[in-house]
């Protein structure tokens, strides 16, 4: 199978997802039943971004042209992929990258997202039987030539130990922040609300901390966040909201909330579900320098950074942790 065949199959997959067939609809419903965080709307949002940004032939060709991708890989490597499951289809980009190079993907799924990825792989294999042995699902992946593993800081240490002898990419906890200067428009704040609350704030590209100037007025942002009041209808989200609100009250901590999201001053960029941290600054330039050099930060949103509303729409070249997966795979070929 050559690179043109693979691009054609990916384009066909995009068309399949856009068609939203009964088969795909049933798959999404099953995934949502298995994981209450995976609402049908959020699965659809993740799918739409994959279709528009990852599966368009012209975008794939432009992306591939940046690397030495063999027209036909006659000596494929075994690449182990340990997938996360915090948001729907979060492991798709790694799978796509391995597939583009013609390597064999040995996949350990997250128990939180073990329905969607297998279905898409099954469709590719159904359309081309040459892929029958190019995707292997397993609870334990070993004997691979290289590994791409995503997990927490704790699991990252285990990954480093087990995979240290092999070429590897190890991803740990990351989150995203916004730097506000107080001149944001109502539309920008509405887009920021989406960057915060989409996927219930569970993604590494979700905004979990705000850097704001002293005397910043939070009222317009709290109003903008009301566009996502529906999140409180999710029982898992509501449990988090009630719990963290109770903690703040019992500890006599100052907080703000609009009934569905809590704002609390905290220097940690990592905030729990339903809560967003904020921190005041006096010099915006120093903030940018600090964040750019932080290993905890995936994405920075604000004027002069990633645009408002774009955090949850990554492109093919928005590599997790800033590590170029394709360049890594290129070295294996």
CA-to-CA distance for 281 and 312, rounded, in angstroms?
25
State whether 136 and 226 are in the same domain: no
Average pLDDT over residues 32-59: 98
In this structure, is residue 135 part of a structural domain? yes
Question: Which residues neighbour 180 within 8 Å (Cβ) at sequence distance 6 or greater?
Answer: 210, 211, 212, 213, 216, 302
Could you give the angle at which helices 22-34 and 3-19 cross, rounded to 10 degrees? Answer: 80
Average pLDDT over residues 7-18: 98
Average pLDDT over residues 65-90: 96
CATH code of the domain in which 289 resides: 3.40.309.10
In the listed set 129, 155, 173, which residue is the last one of a domain according to the structure? 173
Per DSSP, 259 falls in state S
CA-to-CA distance for 302 and 196, rounded, in angstroms?
13
pLDDT one-digit tens code per residue, 245-256? 999 999 999 999
Structural domain that includes position 161 = 3-173
Q: How far apart are the first and last CA of the chain?
A: 15
In this structure, is residue 249 part of a structural domain? yes
State whether 98 and 41 are in the same domain: yes
Sequential DSSP letters for 194-243: HHHHGGGG-STTSEEEEEEETT---HHHHHHGGGGGGGGGSHHHHHHHHH
In this structure, is residue 314 part of a structural domain? no
**Is 23's pLDDT higher than 80?**
yes
pLDDT one-digit tens code per residue, 280-308? 999 999 999 999 889 999 999 999 999 99
Q: What's the pLDDT at 333?
A: 74
State whether 114 and 17 are in the same domain: yes
pLDDT one-digit tens code per residue, 232-279? 999 999 999 999 999 999 999 999 999 999 999 999 999 999 999 999
Q: pLDDT-derived band of residue 58, with 50, 70 and 90 as boundaries?
A: very high
Question: For residue 186, which of 213, 226, 232 has the smallest C-alpha distance?
Answer: 226
Strands (E), the chain: 78-82, 104-108, 135-137, 146-150, 168-171, 175-179, 207-213, 256-257, 262-265, 275-281, 297-302
Q: Provide the domain count of the chain.
A: 2
Does the pTM surpass 0.85? The reply is yes
Q: What's the pLDDT at 201?
A: 98
């Amino acid at each position: 199978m050559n690179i043109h065949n693979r691009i054609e199959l990916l384009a066909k997959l995009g068309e399949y997802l856009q068609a939203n067939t009964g088969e795909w609809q049933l798959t999404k419903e099953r995934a949502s039943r298995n994981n209450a965080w995976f609402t049908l709307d959020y699965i659809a949002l993740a799918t739409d971004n994959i279709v528009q940004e990852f599966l368009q032939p012209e975008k794939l060709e432009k992306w591939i042209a940046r690397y030495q991708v063999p027209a036909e890989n006659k000596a494929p490597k075994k690449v182990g992929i340990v997938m996360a499951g915090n948001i729907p289809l979060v492991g798709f980009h790694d799978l796509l990258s391995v597939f583009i190079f013609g390597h064999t993907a040995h996949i350990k799924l997250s128990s939180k997202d073990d329905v969607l990825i297998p279905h898409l792989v099954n469709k590719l294999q159904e359309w081309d039987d040459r892929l029958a042995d190019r995707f292997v699902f397993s609870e334990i992946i070993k004997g691979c030539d290289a590994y791409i593993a995503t997990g927490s800081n704790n699991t990252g240490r285990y990954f480093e130990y087990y995979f240290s002898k092999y070429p590897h990419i190890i991803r740990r906890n990351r989150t995203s922040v916004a730097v506000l200067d107080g001149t944001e428009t109502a539309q920008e704040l509405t887009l920021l609300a989406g960057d915060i609350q989409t996927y219930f704030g569970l993604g590494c590209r979700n905004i979990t901390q705000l850097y704001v100037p002293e005397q910043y007025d939070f009222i317009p942002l709290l109003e903008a966040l009301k566009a996502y009041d529906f999140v409180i209808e999710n029982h898992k989200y509501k449990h988090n909201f009630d719990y963290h609100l109770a903690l703040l009250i019992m500890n006599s901590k100052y907080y703000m909330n609009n009934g569905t999201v809590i704002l609390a001053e905290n220097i940690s960029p990592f905030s729990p579900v339903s809560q967003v941290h904020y921190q005041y600054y006096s010099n915006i330039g120093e903030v940018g320098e600090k964040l750019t050099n932080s290993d905890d930060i995936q994405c920075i949103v604000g004027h002069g950074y990633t645009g408002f509303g774009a955090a949850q729409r990554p492109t093919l070249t928005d590599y997790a942790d800033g590590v170029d997966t394709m360049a890594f795979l290129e070295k294996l070929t």
